Amino acid sequence: MIRRVLVLLAATLATLATVSLSSSTAHAATVEVVHSPISLGGYCAAQVNPSSTIGFYNGSLGCYRWSTGGSGTTYIGTGSASAACAYLYPTATYLGHAQGASQALLCRYAV
């Protein structure tokens, strides 16, 4: 009888350990986040030029500021799309990027 109880107890503990390990292993989810030209401007101001206010992604990341007199934008410099993705969502792992609608930047992350 004691032997059966010990075998049952050992099997129960092994099952609990397996369930505990598999529930503690987190599976990373992939998310896509669209960063608008205005949010890209935040990256541009912090990393490219402090006078930047807007950024456009069209195969490369261009940083701009609003022109004086309301005549559009003035080019200030080039940023890095992958660095912008990492800067705009620092707690996630950067996986890749693509162009979104209206020259936004679409970033893929593992979270």
The domain limits of the chain are 27-110
Specify the range with the lowest mean pLDDT, choosing from 29-38, 61-70, 74-83, 91-100: 61-70
Supply the pLDDT for residue 28.
80
The conformation of residue 41, written as its DSSP 8-state character, comes to H
Average pLDDT over residues 48-67: 96
Put simply, whether the predicted model's pTM sits higher than 0.85 gets the answer no
Count Cβ atoms within 10 A of the Cβ of residue 39 and give its class: 0-12 exposed, 13-18 middle, 19 or more buried: middle
Supply the pLDDT for residue 26.
61
Q: Is the separation of the CB atoms in 44 and 63 below 8 Å?
A: yes
- Give the H/E segment covering residue 68: none
